[in-house]
Amino acid sequence: MASCRAWNLRVLVAVVCGLLTGIILGLGIWRIVIRIQRGKSTSSSSTPTEFCRNGGTWENGRCICTEEWKGLRCTIANFCENSTYMGFTFARIPVGRYGPSLQTCGKDTPNAGNPMAVRLCSLSLYGEIELQKVTIGNCNENLETLEKQVKDVTAPLNNISSEVQILTSDANKLTAENITSATRVVGQIFNTSRNASPEAKKVAIVTVSQLLDASEDAFQRVAATANDDALTTLIEQMETYSLSLGNQSVVEPNIAIQSANFSSENAVGPSNVRFSVQKGASSSLVSSSTFIHTNVDGLNPDAQTELQVLLNMTKNYTKTCGFVVYQNDKLFQSKTFTAKSDFSQKIISSKTDENEQDQSASVDMVFSPKYNQKEFQLYSYACVYWNLSAKDWDTYGCQKDKGTDGFLRCRCNHTTNFAVLMTFKKDYQYPKSLDILSNVGCALSITGLALTVIFQIVTRKVRKTSVTWVLVNLCISMLIFNLLFVFGIENSNKNLQTSDGDINNIDFDNNDIPRTDTINIPNPMCTAIAALLHYFLLVTFTWNALSAAQLYYLLIRTMKPLPRHFILFISLIGWGVPAIVVAITVGVIYSQNGNNPQWELDYRQEKICWLAIPEPNGVIKSPLLWSFIVPVTIILISNVVMFITISIKVLWKNNQNLTSTKKVSSMKKIVSTLSVAVVFGITWILAYLMLVNDDSIRIVFSYIFCLFNTTQGLQIFILYTVRTKIFQSEASKVLMLLSSIGRRKSLPSVTRPRLHVKMYNFLRSLPTLHERFRLLETSPSTEEITLSESDNAKESI
């Protein structure tokens, strides 16, 4: 009867384990199917990437084309084809730009490597694309020599302006020294005392537009090393020049200047002047995108408005006003505000012909925020102006205005260069809560690990052995990691997200200048969770390695005793080394980026509370690489080597004294091998298979990895607790107690026990089935290998 109960218990355990495995496998397959279906439905419903052609990108419901293309889908040519003229060859040139010749000055000339000529691609009066004549430069002149020549009051400014424009036509080659020299030359051309011709000044505007195509790093070096106020002087001269164009405009790809002259009107000037810049199909400014309206009631932005300025003039004797629009803020190198994104920050300047001390005009402005709404949310903004004396942004006299039309509104009580400094919060696609597969696997692992720890400690005296120290520490570290993973992996910032970057959620009373244009809400708790997850996962792998080392000593080097104080030594390694690694990692990152309020994101991710994924160009410096991947890889390689060694020399070594059948001994060997593989953490090798580029294959390996590793605690419980005779004996007593309680509540059945006994005796009489049932029994040899020998060794310490 006792053997019958033991048989029933083993069958029950096998059935339960089989059902759990089947459920988890089913959930994994179901999640894979759902994931694939979601991927198909998402790709079919979203805008196809092929809709915008020729490098165009889909932003805010329309295609944003490159300079060379235009139209609804960026399919209409907006360039001049390759050409040859007067012996000079020119590549494709976008409309409105000067293209440099492929022929460059010789190495023995002062202008070595720079183009010998340029050619303009423009639109005719009838809107047709056409090439202009070639402008040939002088290879014996460079920016430094021109800077010296322009100081002479008799210098030919027309020729110098043309030469500077040619020398700056290739913005990719411009250095900080080139920008400084070119800025000084252009500054002399716009100097009112030099009386340069209008043609020379218009060519100088082309030079300024070309300079704004230079790299941001080059401008930063200019601001850091320039000994004079070249950039500031140029900004002032652009303002002054904007008053001299009459009612005309000069528009280049990166700068637009327009004037309004009222001297021919009544003696009383207009009360309000409105200047508008419309959105274009590309990021460049075009001549048809700027407008001036006088005597208007107020601002009137529409869906095509990118920015709009209303000049309120309380004194009606103003005769001229001018406006300047800069495509980017490279001339305005701030010491307090740093732009990290590539979003264009347009600068707008307004000026009247009143005396500086008598400037009474106020300005109302609206800006349409232009940014990648798929990846970022507008967090806040500041209304600022460029303080020429401080050479930085300032908020004096400016304030925010609240609107309901989706525009950013500002108001200032003076005229100068204005901007809206926007700050963005990255619109992280926070992952959904853990799915059913992860929840079930982690719950089973937490339960199994807790029961294993309790069993190992409680049954110490019954088993007459010391506590399996390595196994208990491994289970404790894995248990804590699973608990942190389930309850702490999600970033609480996920609940703070605003929908679509709603402008109404912005604090309009706060007009402080931000430090950078991209921010992240700090979350010290998430950083702490990431550090704890980092620590306990390293502890788990360290105890995996120590378990492998201990088994290697016990099974391979059986004739040599364990080192003295082995338990103390491995405890210091298991819990101390990971703490040192985590402490050094956090300390180094903080020491390098502590001044940055967003230093946490150099250590952890924002989407989840885990180590940061490195950028493609920053893998070598990544904390994920050196503080996790490298040590884990070393541990896994050593564990695999010891696992193979133990499997070949011990687990699968032929034993001549084995009396069981070959089939039974093979099954016991498989179970023993699985027991060792689970404790060694061999299944974590599947993580490297998740790095393949194929999405379908990566999804499959992801779920296989999740299946094996979220249930690692359950596997340890089954292999190291359920299979022991002590656990089975105690579980039999519990089942007998439950069955006795059940029999008391119901009438006794005489037939069913007899049937059970008869069926059991019948099955035992069949040799084949008898051997099959013996597979469910505990293997003394396996238990000795995995547990008993380890415990006996510890008793001798």
Question: 189-206 pLDDT, tens per residue?
Answer: 999 888 899 999 999 999
Q: Residue 126 — very low, low, confident or very high, per pLDDT cuts 50/70/90? A: confident
Of 577 and 784, more confident = 577
The distance between the two most distant Cα atoms of the chain, rounded to a whole number of Å, is 126
Question: What does the pLDDT read at residue 722?
Answer: 81
pLDDT: which is higher, 312 or 751:
312
Between CA 196 and CA 241 the distance in angstroms is 12
**pLDDT higher than threshold 90 for residue 136:** yes
Highest mean pLDDT among 446-450, 521-525, 579-583: 579-583
Q: Which range (207-216, 275-284, 550-559) has the least confidence? A: 550-559
Q: Which residue has the higher pLDDT, 750 or 310?
A: 310
Give the mean model confidence (pLDDT) for residues 480-486: 90
Q: At what angle do helices 230-241 and 198-211 cross, to 10 degrees?
A: 130
Average of per-residue pLDDT across 638-653: 79
Percent of the chain at pLDDT above 90? 28
Mean pLDDT to the nearest integer, 515-539: 89
Least confident among 45-54, 161-170, 412-421, 719-728:
45-54
pLDDT surpasses 90 at 131: yes
Q: What percent of the chain has pLDDT over 70?
A: 74
Residue 392, Ramachandran bin (φ over 0: left; ψ between -120 and 50: alpha; else beta): beta
Give the DSSP letter of residue 490: B
Running DSSP on this structure, what letter comes out for residue 50? Answer: T
Q: Average of pLDDT values for 132-155?
A: 91
Integer angstrom CA distances of residue 48 from 45, 63, 67, 135: 8, 12, 22, 43
pLDDT of residue 654: 62
Give the per-residue pLDDT at 720. Answer: 77
Three-state DSSP class for residue 711:
coil
Neighbouring-strand partners of residue 90: 83, 101
Q: Which of these ranges, 117-121, 255-259, 300-304, 495-499, has the smallest mean pLDDT?
A: 495-499
Question: How many whole angstroms separate alpha carbon 8 and alpha carbon 789?
Answer: 29
Report d(CA 349, CA 238) in Å as an integer: 9
- Give me 176's structure tokens: 């900080």
Q: Would you state the pLDDT for residue 782?
A: 36
Rounded to an integer, the average pLDDT of 427-450 is 75
Q: Is 420 exposed, middle or buried (0-12, 13-18, 19+ CB in 10 A)?
A: buried
Instruction: Kindly give, in sequence order, each residue whose CB lies less than 8 Å from that of residue 68, ignoring residues fewer than 6 positions away.
Output: 54, 77, 78, 79, 92, 94
| Residue 263 pLDDT greater than 70, yes or no | no
The span from the CA of 347 to the CA of 342, in Å, is: 15
The mean-pLDDT minimum among 35-44, 287-296, 358-367, 392-401 falls in 35-44
Inform me whether the pLDDT recorded for 648 exceeds 50.
Answer: yes
What pLDDT sits at residue 595?
73
- Contact between 78 and 53 (Cβ < 8 Å): no
Cα(110)–Cα(140) distance, rounded to whole angstroms? 5
> Which token pair is 84?
């040859």
Q: Which residue has the higher pLDDT, 541 or 286?
A: 541
pLDDT band at 736 (very low <50, low <70, confident <90, very high): confident
The domains of the chain, with CATH numbers, are 154-164+172-242 (no CATH), 245-427 (2.60.220.50), 433-495+519-651+669-731 (1.20.1070.10)
795, pLDDT greater than 50: no
Position 21 confidence tier, pLDDT thresholds 50, 70, 90: low
Split at pLDDT 50, 70, 90, the class of 657 is low
Question: What value does the mean pLDDT of the chain take?
Answer: 78
Work out the average pLDDT over 324-343: 87
Task: For residue 145, give both structure tokens.
Answer: 């020599």
Question: pLDDT-derived band of residue 663, with 50, 70 and 90 as boundaries?
Answer: very low
* Highest mean pLDDT pick, 272-276, 280-284, 604-608, 722-726: 272-276
Identify the pLDDT of residue 764: 43
Q: Which pLDDT belongs to residue 656?
A: 55
pLDDT at 642: 84
- Helical ranges in 647-766 per DSSP H: 662-680, 686-689, 695-710, 712-717, 725-745, 751-765
Structure confidence at residue 698 (pLDDT): 65
Cβ atoms within 10 A of the Cβ of 213, count? 18
381 against 780, higher pLDDT: 381
Single-letter code of the amino acid located at 783: E
Task: Determine the pLDDT at residue 427.
Answer: 72
The contacts of residue 724 (CB under 8 Å, 6+ apart) are 778, 783, 787
pLDDT over 50 at 633, yes or no = yes
CB 732 within 8 A of CB 9: yes
Lowest mean pLDDT among 148-157, 234-243, 442-451, 696-705: 696-705
The whole-number average pLDDT for the span 639-651 is 80
Instruction: Write the DSSP assignment of 328-387 as a string of letters.
Output: SSTT---SS-B--S-----EEEEEESS-GGG---EEEEEE---S-TTTEEEEEEEEEEEE
* More confident of the two residues 462 and 636: 636
Residue 83: pLDDT over 90: yes
pLDDT of residue 721: 81
* Minimum mean pLDDT range among 275-289, 413-427, 491-505: 491-505
| Amino acid at residue number 320 | T
Determine which of 229-238, 439-448, 539-548 has the lowest per-residue pLDDT on average: 439-448
Q: Does pLDDT of 773 surpass 70?
A: no
Does the pLDDT of residue 758 top 50, yes or no? Answer: no
What does residue 411 show for φ and ψ, rounded to 5 degrees?
-145, 130
Which pLDDT score is estimated for 251? 92
Cβ contact 371:424 at 8 Å: yes
Find the mean pLDDT for residues 532-554.
89
Q: Mean of the pLDDT values across residues 499-514?
A: 75
Helix (H, G, I), strand (E, B) or coil at 390: coil
Which residues, other chains included, contact 469 with Cβ-Cβ below 8 Å and sequence gap of 6+?
A: 567, 570, 571, 794
Cα atoms in the Cβ-side hemisphere of radius 13 Å centred on 324 = 28
Q: Is the pLDDT of residue 49 over 80?
A: no
